[in-house]
Amino acid sequence: MAIIDSVIESGAAQPIAATTSMHDLLVTDVPIQGPPLEVIAIRELVGSLRPLSAPGLVRIEHLAPTGRDDGIERPPVEAVPLFWRFVRETFGVSAVGPI
């Protein structure tokens, strides 16, 4: 929820779109292209489609159409800044306001 709140508060909600896979949050850029999509996935331990290495962590992944995926696990307090780093590096979108 902190990531969603930061997107709404940041003023950057227009150039990105999100959905869920029941448990994971999936983010892509707008306009949404046809498949395969470039996606950032935010995963947590409970019910995630991809297991985490340890309880109490959040995993943020860049899922690239080329298969050159990248991901990192960190404590939840680091999830929002890490999410924005991935969004900036993947889609070139930065928060307009404070995060």
CB < 8 Å & 24+ apart, contacts of 23-29: 23/47, 23/48, 23/49, 24/48, 24/49, 24/50, 27/87, 28/91, 29/90, 29/91, 29/93
Residue listed under structure tokens 């999100």: 18
Distance from the Cα of residue 38 to its chain's centroid: 11
- What pLDDT does 71 receive? 93
- What pLDDT does 72 receive? 95
> 52 CB contacts (<8 Å, ≥6 apart)?
43, 44, 45, 58, 59, 73
Residues of the chain with pLDDT under 50: none
- Prediction pTM value: 0.86
